[in-house]
Amino acid sequence: MRLEIYGHEKPHPGIARSSNNLGSVYGRLDDLDKALENHEQSLKMRLAIHGHKEPHPDIAISLSNLRNVYEGLGKLNEALEKFRQSLKMNCIFIDMKASS
């Protein structure tokens, strides 16, 4: 429904969240290619919404979900990289919240 309203190209938090949720369901169904596709789409949209400069918990969640998929695919180097990115973003975000 959201895709029909907003389209595939326009970044929208609801579409990013739905893509993330779809990726999680596909992961549980062990369809890791579709899980990867949806989690990548979610991350791309969340980066477009929140930007690349400031950390955001939604971006960290997408990175963590991608880590899970890469681990399931046996792509451990990619999984480790996504884990590091997610951890770094979460640490920065927590520090920002603590100092405000």
Q: Is this model's pTM higher than 0.75 or not?
A: yes
> Who wins on pLDDT, 100 or 41?
41
Extents of the domains making up the chain: 2-99
Specify the long-range contacts of residues 15-24, CB closer than 8 Å, at least 24 apart: 15/45, 16/41, 16/42, 16/45, 16/46, 16/49, 16/58, 16/62, 17/42, 17/58, 19/45, 20/61, 20/62, 20/65, 23/65, 23/69, 24/65
User: Could you read off the pLDDT of 53-78 as tens digits, one per residue?
Assistant: 888 999 999 999 999 999 999 999 99
Domain 2-99 in this protein, CATH class: mainly alpha
Average pLDDT over residues 33-41: 97
Task: Supply the pLDDT for residue 55.
Answer: 87
pLDDT-derived band at 9 (thresholds 50, 70, 90) equals: low
